[in-house]
Structure 1
Amino acid sequence: MTGARWRKSTRSGNNGGACVEVADNLAGVVLVRDTKNRDGGTLTIATEAWRTFVGFAKQS
């Protein structure tokens, strides 16, 4: 998607690229992709579903 600003988690560390990137600057959606294979496809997730997922992940 045009205008996506990609970022990695601050907790990704230096693990050889085994992480994902997110773009959460677009209206209504969050994009997720594999850092090692940026052209391999992108997941598109509704903003509210992403917030729910992150909320559960923070509880773990």
Structure 2
Amino acid sequence: MAVGQLLEYQYFPDQNLAIELMIVTHLKAEPIIYDYLTQLELKIGVKIGLICFDYKNKIVKV
């Protein structure tokens, strides 16, 4: 996942500007991924959302 890159954008250079970070992927995430993101949210204090986008059909999958 792109979590490392999102965190770099969030904290470089010594700033904390985002109130929410969003990951967009074409893959449907397993429940354990959502658990992982929740744990990260608690540790860093920034909400991390995940959107699964089917680019062929142009729809968001839940």
TM over 0.5: no
**Between structures 1 and 2, the one with greater helix share:** 2
Q: Higher relative CO (CA 8 A, sep ≥ 6), structure 1 or 2?
A: 2
Flag the structure with larger Rg. 2
TM-score by length of 2: 0.31
Query: What TM-score, normalized by structure 1, do the two folds share?
Result: 0.32
